Structure 1
Amino acid sequence: MNDMVASNRNIGIWMSDKKSQKLNWKELIKTCNNHGYNLIKVDIERPLEEQGEFAVFLHKLTDVIAAADQGDTKAAGIISSVEQYLSNHPNIVVVDPLDNVRILLNRYCYYTILQEEPSFKKQGIFTPTFAEFSTNNIERNIEIMKQRGVTFPVICKPTIAHGSKSAHEMVVIFNERGLNVCKPPCVVQSFVNHNAVLHKVFLIGNRYHICERPSLKNFYASEDSDPIFYSTGEVCKADSQSTLSILDPYDKAHLKLTLDEEKLKHIIRVLRKRIGLLLAGFDVVLDNATGNHAVIDINVYPSYDNFPNFFEHLLDNIDEMVSRKSVIEYTNGDCIRPREDFIDTPMLNGFINVGMGPSYGVTGMNVN
């Protein structure tokens, strides 16, 4: 084993001030120390070479990457510097690789990956039909929707999924007339009636946790209805009490749909294979007409506030990744290569919490 890799037990971490303020640093430092690591906060505006040797680089650079991709020169310089540093130190375990993170910064990109997944249809899994608008030409946009099978009502979302508050500002549009509120670049996605229940799935590698959240009530196409503007934070948080989540009397008469955990496991396997992030989450709703499971969004490094023992599971995965990165196979005495990537390992433990509040318990289970 390479002596430098074996002796280096530093985890360099960076996240925004907003994310930092929500983190229980004392608990994270304690868990890192219990696993034999030193946690070091890095300053991405300074050369990383000056800040120590790292076995692991743990970050949430999503907003910085998004800003860089949109032409922010300062952000572009930071990301270029980080990428160069990581290229110069290929033994560092990165949580998560920047190129993998970029996939989830663009809704059209990851919706396309989901739509093209061949195994979903036979499993009763889908992503609602969608189209991207790059122009304000309503006639052209209507034609694009027809070509892609997008039907009203639709949810209009910014194409860029991170980087600003506006990334979480949505519009429900009921008819062609309402398309004039769309601000390209944006994605319109067919709305799936799901009885105002959203299932958020939080991933740490192959370990997962499910929380049930309020969501939008059922909507139907209408020539008379005006667009409805909303923020996901106002409607879909655990303590949200939006009037947009109150079901109409007719919808209340329908039985509650049942989440199929086997379908969630399949989605997790696909995301691990196609996108390959350790820290991610996705949103699922159940089509109230068919019971099929619709994946409507994927997130990089979501809030893990409700994930039981989050830091312990994170460090377990980091241990596994560092171990695999450190084991080097020698061929003819001088050729080295890392072992197979960690993401191909079998599923580990899953957790499910289908309650809306803290009074509901968490049940552990094995995932094969």
Structure 2
Amino acid sequence: MPSPRFTVAYALTPKKTRSFMQQKLEAQARSRGITFVALDRNRALIDQGPFDVILHKLAGKEWRQELEDYVQKFPDVIVLDPPGAIQQLRNRQSMLQDVADLRLTDSDGQVRVPKQLVVVGDSSCIPSSVAEAGLKLPLVAKPLVADGSAKSHAMSLAYDRFGLSSLDTPLVLQEFVNHGGVLFKVYVIGNAIKVVRRYSLPDLGEGDQVGFGVKSFPRVSSAAATAEEADLDPEVAELPPQRLLDCLVAELRTRLGLSLFNFDMIREGGAGNCYYVIDINYFPGYGKLPDYELLITDYLVELARRKGKKLGSGGPALAFEESPSAS
């Protein structure tokens, strides 16, 4: 008797569709009894389906209303993830609030957020606002809105008061924390955690003439800047403790109400047990993550089991039934 199918409809931007909906994902999912269906954006969502899961990365009030209407009609559908939960990550003023509120205990480390300031007014007021807030230069400048666009990922390093006045608002200013030039990208897919290293901004020596004005960085943690095979100092390259990641991810999943996200983490000074979360992204570029198709499929199989659907093992995929964690 054939296994029941589990239908996952997706509504993604063209760019996200190309990076995420790769042949290896569809083949892996098909072997486990999962079918992906592209939603027809020229038809009303409520007239399509029914589906077991709706996977999306679209924004806007109209889309949010369509999803709400669909859930009213098909209450058993699983929406990944709820638009209301995603909204918090679209604004860097609220993005890190849940991390700032954390008080992790017995987790093999500390997790903090950089001291930061939100500026929405005229750029000429930035130097005085920074002085009043007691922030120390240099400062990392990031756009306030984090909508997944290339512009929202652009960042700058402001070295002096003159540089601050040239920045575009609205923005978030974060104190720069030396971290050994390595950033950890922590990917979350349901209960699975995967960590990869990326090169980041180099450390700045105290009192050094490190620069003046503003220096722009299009995206310091891009896939091209991988540090997985680099010859790094072992202490700098060491991944965050698994126990710390497990505790942090469990808290964030609950507080954010999300299942598909990643966050950028740095280790203060490149050594020790004090870490900073500096950014959180919804539905990140999973296509760049090795074996992402196995992690995504495993999570969808788990969702099917929660709904009472027992899917097939899919032959070769059986060896990957348990979602791997960071190692």
TM-score by length of 1: 0.73
How many pairs align? 303
Mapping of 1:223-234 within 5 angstroms? 225-232=212-219
Residue 52 in 1 paired to residue 49 in 2?
yes
- In structure 1, how many angstroms separate the alpha carbons of the residues matched to 2:102 and 2:256? 12
Query: Residues 275 and 178 from structure 1, CA distance in 2 versus in 1: closer, same or farther, beyond 3 angstroms?
Result: same
Q: CA offsets, 1:65-104, max 9 Å, x none?
A: 1xx3xxxxxxx43333233223332210111111111111
Task: Decide which of 177, 180, 184 is 2:169's aligned counterpart.
Answer: 184
Match of 2:120 among 119, 129, 134: 134
Between the aligned partners of 1:289 and 1:11, the Cα distance in structure 2 is 41
Q: Deviations over 1:35-66 (max 9, x none)?
A: 323221102342113322101111222xxx1x
For residue 286 of structure 2, the aligned residue among 297, 304, 308 is 304
Indicate if the aligned counterparts of 1:196 and 1:217 stay in contact, CA closer than 8 A: yes
Corresponding position: 1:16 with 2:20: no
Letter in 2 for 1:93: I
Contact 2:181/2:201 (CA < 8 Å) preserved in 1? yes
1:33 shift after superposition: 2.4
Shift of 1:193: 0.9
In the alignment, structure 1 residue 80 sits paired with structure 2 residue 54? no
Distance (whole Å) between structure 2 residues aligned to residue 9 and residue 224 of structure 1? 55
1:43 to 23, 27, 40: 40
Query: 1: CA distance between counterparts of 2:288 and 2:139?
Result: 30
2:170 is aligned with 1:196? no
Give the match for residue 256 of structure 2. Answer: 275
Does residue 171 of structure 1 match 2:152?
no
Q: 1:272 to 1:147 in 2, by over 3 A?
A: farther
| Counterpart contact for 1:93–1:325, Cα < 8 Å | no
Post-superposition, which runs of at least 4 consecutive aligned residues in structure 1 deviate over 4 A? 146-149, 220-224, 252-255
Matches for 1:117-128 after TM superposition, within 5 Å = 117-119=102-104, 123-128=109-114
The answer to whether the 8 Å contact 2:123/2:169 transfers is no
One-letter amino acid matched to 1:17: P
Residues 270, 146 of structure 1: alpha-carbon distance in 2 compared, 3 angstrom cutoff = farther
TM-score by length of 2: 0.81
1:113-143 CA-to-partner distances (Å, cap 9, x unmatched) read 221223389942111011100101544x445
Which protein has greater RCO, CA pairs closer than 8 Å, 6+ apart?
2
* Aligned amino acid, residue 41 of structure 1: A
Q: Are residues 227 and 25 of structure 1, via their aligned partners in 2, closer, same or farther at CA, if it must alter by over 3 Å?
A: closer
Supply the distance in 2 between the matched residues of 1:24 and 1:254 (Cα, whole angstroms). Answer: 36
Paired-residue identity, %? 26
- The equivalent of 1:351 in structure 2 is 325
Q: CA RMSD in A?
A: 3.0
Deviation of residue 238 (structure 1)? 3.6
Alignment CA distance shift 1:290-1:23 (3 Å): closer
CA-CA distance at 1:16 after TM superposition: 1.1
Which of 94, 97, 109 does residue 112 from structure 1 map onto?
Answer: 97
Structure 2 gap ranges (5+)? 227-231, 310-321
Q: Superposed, which structure 2 residues align to 1:277-356 within 5 Å?
A: 277-288=258-269, 291=272, 292-325=274-307, 349-352=323-326
Letter in 1 for 2:280: I
